Homo-oligomer: A and B are copies of this chain.
Amino acid sequence: MSISSRFAVGIHILTLIELNKEGVSSSEFLSSSVNTNPAVIRKLMGMLKKSGLIEVRPGIAGAKLTKELSDITLFDVYMAVNVVQEKELFSIHDSPNPDCPVGRNIQNTIEPLFISAQIAMEKVLRNVTLEDVVKDIATKENIC
């Protein structure tokens, strides 16, 4: 199964907040770009806020980034929106048969392998910042 699109939407939101920094990025504004329900966006805003990526206040319209674009990696967003738990990209069947040499060892043998695969994937996310994303969009729009 695929990793939730919350991650892609989180990147979308943060990118748009940046490009709209002269304006007001309310949940309604953001939702109309993502093409979803404002409540979905507000839930994501809550997660991004909890992770310290944006500043939002009840009653006050609009979200602002709390850091420079170049200081926010895709990994930060990935962690913020909670799409994959630490060490749990892959799931391992529980309760294999302890009376079998394979059954009683398979979990311990496989786990570190799965973890390194997950870490390799996350390393790529750590090496991309939202600045890269915004620049790429700017290029595609012939803004620069």
Tell me how far the C-beta of A27 lies from the nearest C-beta in chain B, rounded to whole angstroms.
Answer: 15
Encoded as 1 (CB less than 8 Å from any B CB) or 0, chain A from 101 to 144 comes to: 11101101110011011101111110010000100110011010
Cβ of A26 under 8 Å from chain B: no
- Residue of B at shortest CB range from A107? B8
Would you call B1 and A103 a contact (CB within 8 A)?
no
Report the interface size for chain A: residues with CB under 8 A from the other chain.
58
Interface residues of A in 8-27 (CB under 8 A from B): 8-9, 11-12, 15-16, 19
Specify which chain B residues have a CB less than 8 angstroms from the CB of A114 in the assembled complex. 8
Question: 29 A-B Cβ contacts within 8 A?
Answer: A1-B4, A1-B84, A2-B84, A2-B85, A2-B88, A2-B89, A3-B90, A5-B90, A5-B93, A8-B91, A8-B106, A8-B110, A8-B114, A9-B93, A11-B106, A12-B93, A12-B103, A19-B101, A33-B97, A33-B103, A34-B93, A34-B103, A101-B141, A105-B140, A109-B136, A116-B124, A117-B121, A117-B124, A120-B123
